[in-house]
Structure 1
Amino acid sequence: MSAVVTTPETSTAGQATMNADAERPPRRVWVEQVMGLPISIHVRGTERAPVGEVETAVAQAFAHLRRVDRVFSAWRDDSDLMRMRRGELSEADAHPWVGEVRALCSEAEQRTGGLFRATLPAPDGGADVWDPTGLVKGWAVEGAARHLALVPRISFCVNAGGDIIAGAGRDAGDLEAWRVGIEDPRDRSLVAATVELTVGAVATSGSAARGAHIVDPRTGSPVDRAGSATVTGPSLLWADVWATALFVDPEQGRAALEGAAPAYRCLVL
């Protein structure tokens, strides 16, 4: 995991810390293993919100992620994606999400100047294989978070393997920021930086957790170096896309980001 939700900082004085904790909205956390990774949903203000609505929204968010997994998983033989690869299912007959995600992948390639591309070299040397998994996670978590945004008087944070989206329902009042620690890619026991989110997203790409799994689309070879790239902005989908592009080529990626997405900020380590 390259980012982790932490509690807000409080005074070092014991009484001040206790008072701050007493004033902080109550918080609950749910965790499920979905899409091959732990996904946690953190909700503040649960005592002010209808309890049943909170629990229903959380259940719907996880159900949304499981539906996405059934369509796009590259590890499930019965997913639409794998059936399409084997020629058992046409794209026209696949879930409508497939067309939506394909269009987003094309847009991502265009926006990043080709630093993000949803293809993998075929293992037999044939035509490239469409692989949208680098975009699907952010897109899926954004969709799941929409269920939480319907619940009044809460704020929430969803952590999907280190990629994080924060938001709030209506009438949430003043929002307390979620603090996100960005780990040092060269020493994962250390926090290199922190980011505060009230509404928005943070995504990190790198090789520290999973090795050289990110492919440079210009060469077809994995990016085999240390480091990471973190991007913050309004959309988790696009933060994740830009983080990948920046890790592939920090210099070209930064120039593309500044030109195409000025609402996003980056940290390259």
Structure 2
Amino acid sequence: MTSPGMDSPAAVHDWVFDAIGTRWTVTTPAPLSADVVDAVRAEIDRIDLAWSRFRNDSTVADMARAAGRYPIAESDQPLVDWYRRLYRLTRGAVTPLVGQTLADAGYDGVYTLRPAASVSAVPAWDEVISGHDAALELRRPALLDVGAAGKGFAVDRVATIVAQVTDEFVVDAGGDMVVSPRTRPLRVALEHPMDPNKAIGVVSLDGGAICASASNRRVWADWHHIVDPRTASPAWEVLATWVIAPSAMEADGLATALFFTPAAFLRGDFDHHAEGFHHVTIRRNGSVEHTAIPGLELFL
């Protein structure tokens, strides 16, 4: 994961709260107004009610119970479109249809963390989803999981609200961050995947988003939360990834995609800006791959 180095002179107030299973810190020059705080909380609650597979009253829970047509909020269409693109880029390795597999493995709504005797295979997109424009049209019930990009999406949504009232901010949700454009770059520590009290390096951000994915965060039995749908088993070759991209949704999804797909392949189809995206990948064999990230210092 990532954590910011608070060396910006304008970063003088932290609003810290817990939501969607993680600790959030919104850093601004001055405290946000009650109206903005309420707007942030309302948006996070809306996202959770729509997309959480850990609550029985969510739209995702409804999808798991019955096939049909489920309208997508206009604000959420980019998340669904990004998942479809990631599915194509990774040849099915990043998919929202991994939810039942994770639940069977023990990462379910009540966190039993006990794998079932039989773990469901992950269905192909077109087997389940017949349409995803303005509504998800399900041919059959399916338990979705948008964890690969959903937290980044939520961070982007919160950053959009905060940006309406201040030009200087950092929105950090458990290490997935959006940093406002700035002339003095923000130093961000890259958390050691085996020891959260250490860093494996630092990067400098003058704006944009950075997200991380690591296989050591949610671990139980012989499982962790990053599952390869093609084998219905955990991905073991990669230990941790970090991605810098224009949005947290993109960075979050790409950080997961790097567990399955070479960066060069992903970069060849990432046309959102001239530099594509930056990344650091650490494999279990100790090898490290990274792009020429501005201000990157590695301590490995």
In the alignment, does 2:39 pair up with 1:60?
yes
Query: What residue in structure 2 maps to residue 194 of structure 1?
Result: 202
Question: Quick one: percent identity of the two aligned structures?
Answer: 26
Q: 2:264 aligns with which of 252, 255, 258?
A: 255
Letter in 1 for 2:174: G
Contact 2:11 2:169 (8 Å CA) reproduced: no
Q: CA deviation at 1:177?
A: 2.6
How many pairs does the alignment contain? Answer: 238
Q: What does 1:132-151 correspond to in 2, within 5 Å?
A: 132-151=146-165
Question: Which residues of structure 1 form unaligned runs of 5+?
Answer: 10-23, 169-173
2:21 is aligned to 36
Partner letter of residue 7 of structure 1?
M
Contact 2:22 2:173 in 1 (8 A): yes
- Do the aligned partners of residues 165 and 127 (structure 1) sit closer, same or farther apart at CA in structure 2, a change above 3 Å counting? closer
Q: CA deviation at 1:165?
A: 0.8
The SS at the match of 1:4 is strand
Q: Distance in 1 between matches of 2:280 and 2:121?
A: 37
Q: TM-score, normalised by structure 2?
A: 0.71
Shift of 1:54: 4.6
Show the counterpart of 2:133: none
Q: Within 5 Å, give how 1:66-77 maps onto structure 2.
A: 66-77=45-56
Q: Deviations over 1:150-176 (max 9, x none)?
A: 114x311111111111115xxxxx543
Q: Relative to total residues, which structure has the larger helix share, 1 or 2?
A: 1
1:177 aligns with 2:185: yes
Match of 1:235 among 247, 262, 283: 247
Asked if structure 1 preserves the Cα contact closer than 8 Å seen for 2:121 and 2:232, the reply is: no
What amino acid sits opposite 2:254 in the alignment? W
Q: Retained in 2: the 8 A contact 1:102–1:132? A: no
- Residue 171 (structure 1) aligns with: none
Between the aligned partners of 2:253 and 2:62, the Cα distance in structure 1 is 25
Q: After TM superposition, give the deviation of residue 101 of structure 1 in Å.
A: 3.4
Measured against aligned partners, the alpha-carbon deviations of 1:115-154 in whole angstroms (never above 9, x if no partner) come to: 32222255474774432232211112111111111114x3
Task: Report if aligned partners of 1:80, 1:94 keep a CA contact under 8 Å in 2.
Answer: no
Could you list the per-position Cα deviations for residues 26-67 of structure 1 after superposition, in whole angstroms to 9, with x for gaps in the alignment?
6111112111111111113x3xxxx6x655334322321111
Question: Is there any run of 5+ residues in structure 2 with no aligned partner, and where?
Answer: 105-118, 124-141, 283-300
- The question of whether the paired residues in 2 share the 8 Å contact of 1:157 and 1:178 is answered with no
* Match of residue 104, structure 1, among 82, 85, 90: 82
* Counterpart-to-counterpart distance in 2, 1:148 and 1:256: 34
Question: Kindly tell me: are residues 162 and 203 of structure 1, through their superposed partners in 2, closer, same or farther at Cα, counting changes over 3 Å?
Answer: same
Counterpart Cα distance in 2 of 1:182 and 1:82: 35
Aligned residue in 1 for 2:145: 131
Distance of aligned partners of 1:100 and 1:181 in 2 relative to their CA distance in 1, 3 Å threshold: closer
Computed over aligned residues only, the root mean square deviation of the Cα atoms, in angstroms, reads: 2.6
Is contact 1:233-1:265 (8 Å) kept? yes
